[in-house]
Amino acid sequence: MERKNRTQLALGVILILAAAWLIVSRIYPDLAFSLSFTSWPMWVIFSGAVILFVGMLVGAPGMAVPACIVAGVGGILYIQNAQNTPESYASWNYMWTLIFGFVGVGVLLSGLLGGTLRKDAAHGLNLLVVSAILFAIFGTMFGGLTLFGQYAEYAPIALLFLLGIWLIVRGLLRRKSKLEE
C-alpha cells in the first residue's frame, strides 16, 4: 500500500472513530467526557493534534514527530497546571527526559503511517527505552519519584547499569545482523 493511501486510510479511521464517539456521547451523555479547553495547556495538546491532522492530510507522516512532541509537552503542562503547586513545576528537573519518548512515539507513528514501520520501530522503541530509563534516573535523583522505596538511593546506579547492558546487547545484535546480510 502506498504511503499516501495508508495516510488517508488512517485519517479516515480516525474520523470514523471520532464520529462514532460523538454519536455514542449524544445517545449516552454519561459516557461523554469534557476536556476543559479553557485551560491553556489543552490548547497546546490541541495544537499537536492539529499538526498531526495536517500532516496526515498532506501525506507527510513525518509530521507525527513534532505533533507528538507538542502534544506530549502539552500533557506535561496540563498535569502540572492541574496540580498547581511549586513542586509540580519543579518536576521539569526530570520531566524533560520524556521528550525523547515523545519523539519515539512520533517515529513509531510516522513509520506506521508512512509504511516504514520495521525500520522506524527500532528507532522509536530505542528512544522510548532511553526516555523511560532517564526519567526514572532523574526522577529518583531529584526526589520526584518514590517508585523504588527504600532503595531509591541505589536506583539510579542500577538503572545506569541496565542502560549500559542494553546498549552493549543492542550493539552486538546490530553487528550480528549486519554480518548475516
Q: How far is CA 9 from the centre of its chain?
A: 22
**Exposure b/e, 23-58, CB count within 10 A at least 16 = b:** eeeeeeeeeeeeeeeeeebbebbeebeebbeebbee
Average pLDDT in the chain: 80
The per-residue pLDDT for 155 is 73
Give me the residue spans of the domains in the chain. Answer: 3-180
Q: How many CA atoms lie within 13 A of 85 on its CB side?
A: 4
What pTM, to 2 d.p., does this model score? Answer: 0.70
The per-residue pLDDT for 38 is 63
Cα separation, 78 vs 72, whole angstroms:
10
Residue 168 grid coordinates: 552493549
Q: What is the mean pLDDT of residues 8-12?
A: 69
- Asked if residue 125 lies in contact with residue 103, where contact means CB atoms within 8 angstroms, the answer is no
- Model confidence band, residue 166 (pLDDT cutoffs 50, 70, 90): confident
Q: How far is CA 2 from the centre of its chain?
A: 25
Cα separation, 155 vs 174, whole angstroms:
28
pLDDT tens track for 63-81: 999 999 999 999 999 888 8
